[in-house]
Amino acid sequence: MKFGEIVNNFSVPPHPKGISIEGKLVSLKPLVADQFSKELFLSNALDKENINWAYLPYGPFKTEPEYHKWIESFEKNDDPIFFAIISKKLNKATGIASYLRINPADGLIEVGHINYSPLLQRTTEATEAMFLMMKWAFDNGYRRYEWKCNALNLRSRNSAQRLGFSYEGVFRQMAIVKGQNRDTAWFALIDKEWKKVEDCFKKFLSSSNFDKQGRPIVSLSALTKPLLYKLDNLDCS
C-alpha cells in the first residue's frame, strides 16, 4: 500500500556544525563568545526599547558578560548551530541566526533564533543572510526548510512569506514563553520549490534591481508571492 510519494535518490545531507558561509555583503561565521559577544552586545544596545527580544525566550541581556555567558552555553552544542552575521560594509557582527531542529536523516532543517540589531534590520544584507542560509541547506541536500514564530508576531510572519516560505498553519498552546502562552505559526519551503525561489532572490539582490539611492526597484515580496503554496491546495479527503 502506498501512503505517499516514493523518495528516490535521497542522500543524507551533512550537518552544518562548524561551517562558514560567504556572501557578497555578509559573512556567516560560527558564533563564538570570545570573538563576537562584545560587538554584538553593542550592536544590540542600539535597540533602546528592547523590542528585538519581545518574542525570544531569552534576553534582553543587561551586560556584555551576561551575553557572553549565554553564547558560551551553546557554542559547543550540535543543535542549534548559531552564526554571527558579519557586515562586510561595517566590518563587524550586526546580528545572529541559527539552524535548529537539524534532522539530516529526513532532510529537515529549520532557521530560527534570528536577532538582527538595528544596524542589520531592513537592509539588503539582512536579506542576503537569509538567502545564504537557505542556499546552503538546499545545495547540500536538505528537503525541507522551516520557519516558526509566535503566531502573534506579524512582523516575523510577513518576513517568512516575503522570503518565500509558505504558511502551513498554527500549533495552538505549543509553549509557555516568559510566562505567556505561545501559539506557533509554521512556515516551510521545500526542495521542489527552491529553484524558483532562488531565482527570486537572485533577481532581487542583483545590482540592476537597485536605484541610485540603493532602493529596490522590484520588492522581494512581489517576486515570491506568486510562488507561495496555499493551504487550500491540501486534499484531506
Question: Is 83 within the bounds of a domain?
Answer: yes
pLDDT digits (tens, 9 = 90+) for 74-87: 999 999 999 999 99
Domain that holds residue 174: 21-231
Cell numbers at 127, concatenated: 536579506
Residue 16 resides in a domain: no
- Over the chain, what is the mean pLDDT? 95
Cα 32 to Cα 183: distance, rounded to the nearest angstrom: 31
Taking residue 140's Cβ as centre, other Cβ atoms within 10 Å add up to 16
- Three-state secondary-structure class, residue 16: coil
Residue 3 lies in a domain: no
Report yes or no on 12 lying in a domain: no
In a domain, 96, yes or no: yes
Q: Based on the structure, what is the number of domains in the chain?
A: 1
| Rounded CA separation 141/120 (Å) | 29
DSSP for 118-156?
A: TTTTTSHHHHHHHHHHHHHHHHTT-SEEEEEEETT-HHH
Do the domain assignments include residue 165?
A: yes
Query: Is 187 a domain residue?
Result: yes
Q: Is residue 77 part of a domain?
A: yes
pLDDT in tens, 178-212: 999 999 999 999 999 999 999 999 999 999 999 99
* Domain CATH number, residue 77: 3.40.630.30
